[in-house]
Amino acid sequence: MAVAEDKLSAERTFGVATDEAIISLINAAHDRVVFIGPGLSESVASAIGARMESPESPKLSITVILDSDPEVFRLGLGTIEGLQRVSDYASLNLLELRCQPGVRVGVIVADERMMVYAPVPLLVEAGSTSAEKPNALLLTGPSATTVASAAGAAGETLPQAAEIGGQAMTPKMIETANDDLKISPVQPFNLCRQARVFSSKIQFVEFSVERYQTTQKTVRIPAHLMGLDGDLEERWRTSLRVLDEGAASVEIEVCSGNGKKSAKVNVSPKYLDNERKRIQEKYLISVTGMGAVMFTRDQSAFDSEVKAFERLLTSYHEALTEKLKTSLDGIVAQVVQRLLPSVKTRLPAAYTRRGPPADDDLKQMLTYDISRAISVGSLIKPPKVTKIYKGISYQSVRSKDFLSRLEDGFRKANVPPSQTRDIFDETSAALKADEW
């Protein structure tokens, strides 16, 4: 690739380490590029990657030393995307990235030219673009070779024996940083104001499941049929108690969630209740008189299990609905056959408003009334899952009563003491611009 026009003024010793200035140095190099810093942007990573893949790359020595600490990205000293991008370029071009934990100085060596700069944490400030507000020194001569040698980039010093960057930046390090940022992601803060911010590693959770206990469901018979027979109401209720545990059980496919294939399982209200209890006991910690709490780190796994449980409830409801459509038709027919003689003898007023009905009409009227009383819709409703997260308030943490109940809940749930330390934190943090 053609060497880009040098954007750095040779007349100045003090300058500003903008991405444009750093990229200009990288593009101007003929023999050697050394990049040292806590992190880098995607544009700088792309510039380094382009030099790795340029026709001159076999003649160009490239050394990159970075820090993989996720705090680098939260502070805005670089981006995780930039680290991943330069790592991908290095892997494709068989170059080894190197790591220096805790490095907080920035250095660019391009042949005999060098920029030493103070990386700007974008969390705190936007960074200067004016030469009148410098954050970098621009040097030339032997000092560049001295720094390159200390970084193991001069040829006579092996990386393992260098003063800095003695260990490889492995894909596992980058993966660990990515995982950490998923739990506590980078925030687009501009620290022009500070506030005391309270954070908690636990949260309240309201979790409930309704309308799946079908064996407890009862229906009311039509009021105008109540007087047909002295024990009619009780006999109808007895007929409706076919929804015992066996009648309310259906065979459906259930996925284990452990990578195993789904298997057919006999699902009943008791089975569903046991599954609900299992999820609650696995994730929720009861706090007497205050509800239940959960570690925030478990929220993703909890959400996944609740979604799987909701799918199970839906499958159960659909299968039971189909089963009851067949069985309730038979129940209705049996009740009609049993009650029809009594109805003929003592017709309800509602049946005689337009004259005495014929036998077939009477049977249809009675079938209609009984069907409405013991229809599938009257016996089962779609199950309902409620899941609401609520943060722990600062006032609660100041309450000795709350902390005592919480500690008691942890003990009863067998939570290891090591996991309950530092669950609350109060620190200075930046406010977003729209919170000023």
Q: What is the pLDDT along the chain (436 residues), one digit of tens a residue?
A: 333 334 454 558 898 999 999 999 999 999 999 999 999 999 999 999 999 988 776 788 999 999 999 999 988 899 999 999 999 999 998 888 999 999 999 999 999 999 999 998 887 776 667 777 888 999 998 999 899 999 988 766 677 788 999 899 999 999 999 998 888 888 765 544 455 566 788 999 999 998 766 655 555 656 566 554 444 544 444 444 445 566 678 888 877 655 555 778 888 888 998 999 999 999 999 999 999 999 999 999 999 999 999 999 999 888 888 887 777 777 678 778 877 887 888 888 888 888 888 989 988 988 888 877 777 776 778 888 999 999 888 888 888 999 999 999 999 999 998 888 888 876 655 555 454 4
Q: What angle do CA 19, 74, 44 make, to 5 degrees?
A: 20
- The CA distance from 335 to 286, in Å, is 47
Q: Which residue has the tokens 């499941």?
A: 209
**Are 191 and 124 in contact, with CB atoms under 8 Å apart?**
yes
Token pair of 349 as six digits: 């007023």
What single-letter amino acid sits at 83? Answer: L
**Residue 126: its pLDDT value, please?**
67
- The CA distance from 232 to 114, in Å, is 98
Instruction: Tell me the residue ranges of DSSP E strands in 156-302.
Output: 167-168, 194-200, 202-210, 250-254, 263-267, 285-287, 291-295
Q: Which residue has the tokens 């600490």?
A: 69
**Are 114 and 139 in contact, with CB atoms under 8 Å apart?**
yes
Per-position DSSP letters for 290-319, written without gaps between them: TEEEEEGGGHHHHHHHHHHHHHHHHHHHHH
Identify the structural domains of the chain with CATH numbers, from first to last.
14-183 (3.30.870), 206-385 (no CATH)
